[in-house]
Structures are given as C-alpha cells and as structure tokens.
Amino acid sequence: MRPENLKTKLFLDGGDPHETKEIIDLLGFLDGQTTNPTLISKNPNARKRLEQGDKFSREEIFNFYHFVVREISGLIPQGSISVEVYADASTSAEQMMKQGREMFSWIPNAHIKFPTATEGLKAAQQAVKEGLRVNMTLCFSQEQAAAVYAATLGAKRGNVYVSPFIGRLDDRGENGMDLIANILCMYRKGNAHVEVLTASVRSLDHLFYALKLGSDIITAPFAILKEWGQKGLPMPRNDYVYHGGNLKAIPYKNIDLTKKWTDYDIHHELTDKGMEKFSQDWNALLK
C-alpha cells in the first residue's frame, strides 16, 4: 500500500512488463514507468530473439517497442509511461518530432523523451506547442534544467518532466543528489510547470534523499523498488541525512529563469555520451 506521507510519484525504470507486474504486486501501487533504448534492448524477449541470431528490421523494432509500451500502459493505465525517441549526434529536431508524434499516439498516457541537447530542446519546444507531454532526459546540469524550463514555458504542469541522471554523476565522483537539490531550489523561483524526475537511481539512499528533498517523481530500477518493497516501504525520517561520502559537492548557481532557452550553456559531455550509448544499444538490435 502507498505510504500515507508519500507525495512523490514513484516510477519503475525498466523495459520488461513482467517487472512492472511484479512491482505492482509487491508495492500495491505504481505511478508510472520510464523506458529507454538500453532498457528495451535488455527486454527478455528481445534478448531471446537476438540469441537466436535473429535481429530486428527498423520497422520490427519500433513495433516491438510499441508492443512493450502498450503492455506496460495497460498495467498502469492511470500512470505516465515515458517512451524515448532514437537520437544520435546527427538526429535533427524534425526527425525526433516525427518519432515523438508517432510514439505519443501509441498509448493514451505517454511522455516522450527527448535528450536535453540543442535538437532535443527544439523538438520539446515544438512538442509542447502541439500538446505532447515530454520528459527531457540525460540532464546533468542546472543550466540544462533552466533551458528545459524556458523551452517549455506555457506548458501545463504535468506535461513536462526533466530527468537529472544522478547515478552517472556519482560515477564520476560528483554528488549527483546535489543537482536534484539545486534544480528543485532553482525551480522554486519559477511557475512550477516542470516536474523534477530523479533518474539513474542506484541505491535506497538515493531514493530516500530524493523523497526527503521533495522530488516530484523518482524512477528507480526493479532491484531498488523490490528492496524498498521487501523492507516494508519505509519513508525517510525527519532527521534523515544523506551522506555523499567522498563525492564532490555540486554548488548551487543563481540562474535567471527568464532568459531564452538558447541563451543557456547547455552542453554537457555526459549528455553526448549518454546519447551515444543509447543509440549504440538500439542499433545493436538492428539487422
């Protein structure tokens, strides 16, 4: 059962509907799910097909993604399901939008994931104008979150998520959780139309601290939600303190939210690397 004081929405980060079902059975609720090309490439049916030496055509892989997403959507009809466009370094905003429109029509409760890079932000700006819901992924800096805010101004709350990837910052010695705290603090100066979705969660401590900070949404992998469920869905106590250990603090920047999105310095090497990895994993499925 959902803990009474749980205000944050909890999503599963995964590409296998069996996991979705198991988590719903264990927790008694689930508010949504995030998927991405790497997670879809790990789906057991996709793995089985690949092990038999049978790769997918472009059309088949999109049909496969569609099928998986439809199954997940059926399990969480009231929740949000994030579906990610294919985007490598050369994918244009128009190409992303073409996929985004198609994916948005797959299920009634989709958020379309675009990378927080120039073409992805252009696509997001257009997408919200057309009434699509978006989830801006691979966010690693406060400037990128400011650009998401500015590019999607005018959108209704609930239609725009930004996904800072905390685990990948931790991996390179920076305290990823600081980024969540900083973005939440920066957004308090704005109109609250963007929801912060804590992503790349690697531990129960990430989950607890994101809950304590009041992240709007948290997406966590199967193993973490299972651990949390098996422990009885504990919530962080008021005196909970997150220990970043040796991780380097990420200082808060006083960023003006009223600029045009193109005026922010949005480049981050982890966004480039992330897009590269997602597209490689996707392409590895193709004939």
Q: Is 200 in the site for ligand G3P (CB under 6 A)?
A: yes
Report the residue from 20, 33, 34, 152 that binds ligand G3P according to the rule CB under 6 A. 34
Stretch that binds ligand G3P, among 121-129, 141-149, 160-168, 180-188 (CB under 6 A): 160-168
Q: Report yes or no: 160 and 195 within 8 Å, Cβ to Cβ.
A: yes
Print the SS3 string covering 109-148: CEEEEEECCHHHHHHHHHHHHCCCCEEEEEECCHHHHHHH
Which residues does residue 11 pair with via DSSP β-bridges, in sequence order? 32, 219
By CB under 6 A, tell whether 219 contacts ligand G3P. Answer: yes
Nearer to ligand G3P, 204 or 257 (CB): 204
Contact 204, 227 (CB under 8 A): yes
Span from 118-126, 163-171, 224-232, 263-271 in contact with ligand G3P (CB under 6 A): 163-171
What is the footprint of ligand G3P within residues 35-74 (CB under 6 A)? 36
Nearest to 281 by CA among 31, 15, 6: 15
**Is 167 among the residues that bind ligand G3P (CB under 6 A)?**
yes
Q: Is 199 one of the binding residues for ligand G3P (CB under 6 A)?
A: yes
Q: 126 or 137, CB closer to ligand G3P?
A: 137
Active site residue 113: yes
Query: Least Å distance between CB 167 and ligand G3P?
Result: 5
Which H or E run contains 163? Answer: strand 160-164
165 binds ligand G3P (CB under 6 A): yes
3-state secondary structure of 246: coil
Q: Per the residue annotation, which of 7, 21, 113, 248 is the catalytic one?
A: 113
Size of the site for ligand G3P (CB under 6 A): 9
Cα gap 190→213, rounded to integer Å:
17
| Distances in whole angstroms, Cα of residue 285 to Cα of each of 16, 31, 37, 69 | 16, 29, 10, 17
In the complex, the smallest distance separating the C-beta of residue 129 from ligand G3P, rounded to whole angstroms, is 26
Tokens of 74: 């059926």
Positions in 249-268 near ligand G3P (CB under 6 A):
none
Residues classed as catalytic: 113
Q: Which residues bind ligand G3P (CB under 6 A)?
A: 13, 34, 36, 165, 167-168, 199-200, 219
